[in-house]
Structure 1
Amino acid sequence: MLVISRDVGEVITIGDDIQIHVLAVINGVVRFGVSAPREVPVHRTEVYARIKARQAQEPDE
């Protein structure tokens, strides 16, 4: 895991086409935005876990 510090307005780049923008830090809560191509799914972990659980329940076709 890479751990770095960024200030509001700064950006982290992942590969050639994904960017994490630090939008705000309020009372220790960090707000950030993700810029990625439409074909790259971006989900919060709890949402991703529900998607995977639902997929596991679906019968194979």
Structure 2
Amino acid sequence: MLVLTRKLNEAIQIGEEIEISVVSIQDGQVKLGINAPKHIEIHRKEIYLSIQQENSSASNLSADILKKLTNSKP
């Protein structure tokens, strides 16, 4: 893991397309601004994990249904 220190209004550049800026710091909370192309999805970690879990559950359900369909006899 790379750990960087940034102050208010300073930024981090990731590749050529992504910039993360420190927008404000208040009461122990840091607000970040992210500039990235629209095709790049950006989520809070807990939301990302929830999406991954939902996708995994949906794919398992689809696989189960497919097995039942292929194993059923007309």
Report the TM-score when normalising by structure 1.
0.89
Offset at 1:29?
1.2
Q: Structure 2 unaligned runs (5+)?
A: 67-74
Give the secondary structure class of the aligned counterpart of 1:4. coil
Which structure: larger Rg?
Answer: 2
CA RMSD across the alignment: 1.4
Q: What percent identity do the matched residue pairs reach? A: 34
Deviations 1:8-44, CA, capped at 9 Å, x for gaps? 1111000110010100111221111111111111000
Which has the higher relative contact order, 1 or 2, with Cα contacts under 8 A spaced 6 or more apart? 1
How many residues of Structure 1 are paired with residues of Structure 2 in the alignment?
61
TM-score with structure 2 setting the length: 0.75
What is the 5 A alignment of 1:8-27? 8-27=8-27
The 3-state SS of whatever aligns with 1:24 is strand
Greater fraction of residues in helix: 2
Q: Does 1:34 pair with 2:34?
A: yes
